[in-house]
Chains A and B, each alone.
Chain A
């Protein structure tokens, strides 16, 4: 099977400030692969092995996203692509999905596309299903197990809270994968070193044939207008006294609350 995986490179620091123009200023000094995208990558590796398939990884973002693309190569992807250009920046989920879908379509067709459930920064979870819609394929969210039944049928287990639904799905399909549903493979020193030397092709604005008015900032329809601090101040009653007294009071409260 021909498999694509979308991987977002996200800032890991939660140090966020608000500047004088009410913009979120994020400390981007530290960044890493969006956690659940590695769970998605893990299922891609399982399917690759099961079907003798190939994996292409896509990340849209600035050059720092190369780190995630190289990590994916080191754990078993065959090819990585960086999608990068100023016109792609500042988009909402509609614009982001359009660019990713177009790049994937141009290199396709793929049998299975994986995304994470949601990013740890924007966190909307909308990008995956939007890509599926653009590429006219079904999407399955909350995927916790996946297995190929034949060339064009997958058996997917979808978590629905109190259990899993077992689904039979015709390919092509887009699958979104939540954090924690499998143990991601990690690169070894050797595979990472090899991946670091890989040339990663860049898909730029000139290569993505989309009207500039429907992507990036001009295409964005859901727009953050204000940012505010929601600190409510302290409303809790402070427990005072010696630590012994505080501990005794906590014991009392727990017993009262439990009753």
Chain B
């Protein structure tokens, strides 16, 4: 039986904030399966990073030091990870669902013919015929549908959606091992970094008003914008609002948009699909206005206003 692997992504020569969340997922599988939990990482100056990777509950750290490598060199890194996988036998490999890690592991999955499940939010481990089986749970299209995936074969790669606010407990004492990389070139060279000068005000906003398809109407959207202005909030929205040009794409909240952490969020005509709610983090106070009393958003919000927004907004604007 192989180990449970957690990939610790090194972004910009720094351990990614996804680590805490990833370790939680790994520990959950370990608890149910009893398998060894191995944290592995590839990058430069790994010696200096050891202390930041000693998460409690992790049995072994497997590291690969590659001087000068950048996390965007997925061509080179995929060769490195494939070599590491030749040395350590994993049955389950958990990977944070970042753009670079998913690209890196999609390549590894193809190299090794390992099934790969994307964007999971939870795992459910069960022992079948003495062997642990990890069921992979994730949202699917449509308001409130979850699918469970299983991977066939001796090994599996699962990308996990993480909450980057989870701080790892670094009081562990894992065995530390290094694996040599035989080397490979990258066709990608990093020449510069251009910082955005216009930071999206959405990220620093304390109060956010989210418009959904229910607000896709000149008059209603106009009231939503006026209300946001009145209370000093930033206007964001769901994917249909961005897809149809009502809000700029940068202000789409959700899985394929932006993750925000306001103090207060008000939603108008948002149904509450999990891909949307994934973008509202940090436990804000949420007030949802929706005319459908069964809208899933009411299972997520703190306060429900079950009404047509055309009736509520004029009062709010007074």
Contacts and interface: CB of A to CB of B under 8 A. Distances in A.
Contact of B75 (A94, A130, A139, A229): A139
A197 interface: no
Interface string A218-259: 001111111111111111111100011011001101101110
B263 A258 contact: yes
A245 to B, nearest CB: 9
B190 interface: yes
A158 B73 CA distance: 12
Contact of B264 (A35, A142, A170, A258): A258
The binding surface of chain B is classed by DSSP as mixed
Contacts of B186: 138
B52 interface: no
A186 B148 CA distance: 38
Interface string A42-79: 00000000000000000000000000000000000000
Interface string B279-315: 0000011111000011011111111111100011011
A108 interface: no
A222 B110 CA distance: 13
Contacts of A157: 194
A134 B109 CA distance: 11
Contacts of A128: 103, 106
B106 A93 contact: yes
A126 B194 contact: no
Interface stretch (A10-18, A81-89, A200-208): A10-18
B201 interface: no
Interface in B22-50: none
Nearest to B209: A254
Contacts of A239: 287, 303-305
Most buried by B among A140, A167, A222, A224: A222
A227 B152 contact: no
B256 A158 contact: no
Interface stretch (B56-64, B137-145, B170-178, B215-223): B137-145
B312 A231 contact: no
A110 B300 CA distance: 48
B89 interface: no
A237 B285 CA distance: 12
Contact of A126 (B106, B144, B307): B106
B147 A246 contact: no
Given A221-B153, A222-B151, A224-B149, A234 B188 contact: no
B139 to A, nearest CB: 7
Contacts, number: 263
A21 B231 CA distance: 49
A167 B113 contact: no
B75 A138 contact: yes
A124 interface: yes
Contacts of A193: none
Nearest to B102: A125
Contact of A166 (B141, B151, B192): B192
Contact of A121 (B141, B146, B192, B312): B141
Interface in B247-279: 248-250, 252, 256, 263-264, 266, 274
A169 B207 contact: no
B299 A227 contact: no
A257 B99 contact: no
A221 B303 contact: no
A158 B297 CA distance: 34
Interface string B196-219: 100100000011000000000000
A148 interface: no
Contacts of A94: 109-110, 113, 115-116
Given A94-B115, A223-B151, A230 B107 contact: no
A24 interface: yes
B72 A234 contact: no
A133 B107 contact: yes
A225 B195 contact: no
A221 B151 contact: yes
B119 interface: yes
B188 to A, nearest CB: 5
B18 interface: no
Contacts of A244: 315
Given A126-B118, A221-B114, A258-B264, A167 B190 contact: yes
Given A253-B303, A254-B207, A180 B144 contact: no
Interface in A87-106: 92-94, 97
Contacts of A234: 293-294, 298-299, 304
11 contacts: A16-B145, A92-B116, A94-B110, A124-B119, A133-B106, A167-B191, A223-B115, A224-B147, A234-B298, A235-B298, A246-B312
What 5 A-B pairs come out closest when comparing CB atoms? A221-B115, A180-B249, A232-B299, A247-B315, A257-B285
Given A137-B187, A227-B148, A239-B303, 5 more contacts: A126-B118, A133-B78, A133-B110, A162-B199, A235-B298
Interface of B: 72-75, 78, 99-100, 102-104, 106-107, 109-111, 113-119, 135, 139-153, 156, 186-196, 199, 206-207, 231, 242-243, 248-250, 252, 256, 263-264, 266, 274, 284-288, 293-294, 296-307, 311-312, 314-316, 318
